[in-house]
Amino acid sequence: MFRYIVRRLLQMILTFFGATFVVFALMFANQDDPIQALAGEKPVSDSLREALTERYHLDEGLLGQYWYYMTNLLTGDLGESISGRDISALLESSWPVTVQLSFMALVLAAGLALAAGVWSAIRRGGIFDNGVLAFTLLLLALPIVVLAPVAQWIFGMELGWFPATASRNASFYALLLPAIVLATTVVATQLRVTRTSVVENLRADYVRTARAKGLAPRRIIWVHVLRNSLIPFITLIGVDLGVLMSGALVTEEVFNIPGVGSKLAQGIRTEDGPMVVGFVSVLVIVFLVMNLVVDLLYAALDPRIRYE
């Protein structure tokens, strides 16, 4: 188990440096004039050009700039945005609402996927099963950039069931519609994986043995079958975290939620390279840590993984 954790930590380190380097290169190296991009719309005087060159080490090449950025990042210094605002403070103010929104979306998606997936597998081939499969196809075909404004218009503006926008101190009810919209980005895949896994386990030899011993059907399904079916489902949650992060960018922008996704979209529009790189670096760390937790849960459910 210790070697498994060490191997995963080494993979995380390589992934972290690779992902942050790609984002850093895209935001800074491909600019025609990186100093003008850092200055925004302000005219660049000789003194300002010299100050920005010294601050971001623009005269030392891409690798040198990346080295200084990572040195500051690993000490907790995310730097300042082009508007002079502290990136750590921006992240601190926007992080709680994004965590709340993503957690609500993940719980909604996981709860629906487990309940509907298990019941669909038990009643496979029936009306409910066919309806669930058609519903998942519809969700997979609808991108969130279409679903989010449509849901806001129908349920927020026309029907008035939910608030059309949400603030930083929004209540659970105000974030419910955005959370439902965000959950649609992952629930279809989770539901299909759950259904497929349960169907395969229902055909396994241990299920026939349990039935032959006279165990109650509910106990067979909810204790034995579901435990083994959770292995691919839990693995998928780690991947879904990345999907939720990208989906939060659109959802927060549409519903005017002042979270990480909204700030990141603002930074991309204004070409605020330091803020974009800083936010993405933190999101990469969160994604990698959550995937490590998921892998450890996977190893706990299936002890064979520990010795691979």
Same domain for 142 and 106: yes
> Which of 104-118, 129-143, 294-308 is predicted least confidently?
294-308
Same domain for 199 and 160: yes
Asked whether residue 85 is assigned to any structural domain, the reply reads no
Same domain for 273 and 221: yes
Q: Which of 245, 259, 286 minimizes the C-alpha distance to 169?
A: 259
Asked whether residue 83 is assigned to any structural domain, the reply reads no
* Domain tally, the chain: 2
pLDDT band at 35 (very low <50, low <70, confident <90, very high): low
pLDDT band at 126 (very low <50, low <70, confident <90, very high): confident
pLDDT at residue 37, rounded to an integer: 59
Q: Which tens digits make up the pLDDT trace of 257-279?
A: 887 877 887 777 766 777 788 88
Same domain for 199 and 95: yes
Q: Which tens digits make up the pLDDT trace of 153-196?
A: 888 787 878 877 776 666 777 788 888 888 888 888 888 888 88
The domain in which residue 200 lies consists of: 90-307
- This prediction has a pTM of 0.73
pLDDT band at 198 (very low <50, low <70, confident <90, very high): confident
Asked whether residue 254 is assigned to any structural domain, the reply reads yes
Same domain for 138 and 64: no
Same domain for 296 and 193: yes
Same domain for 100 and 205: yes
Same domain for 259 and 233: yes
Same domain for 295 and 182: yes
Asked whether residue 81 is assigned to any structural domain, the reply reads no
Q: Which of 280, 287, 284 minimizes the C-alpha distance to 241?
A: 287
Q: Which tens digits make up the pLDDT trace of 52-92?
A: 666 666 666 677 777 877 887 777 777 777 666 777 787 77
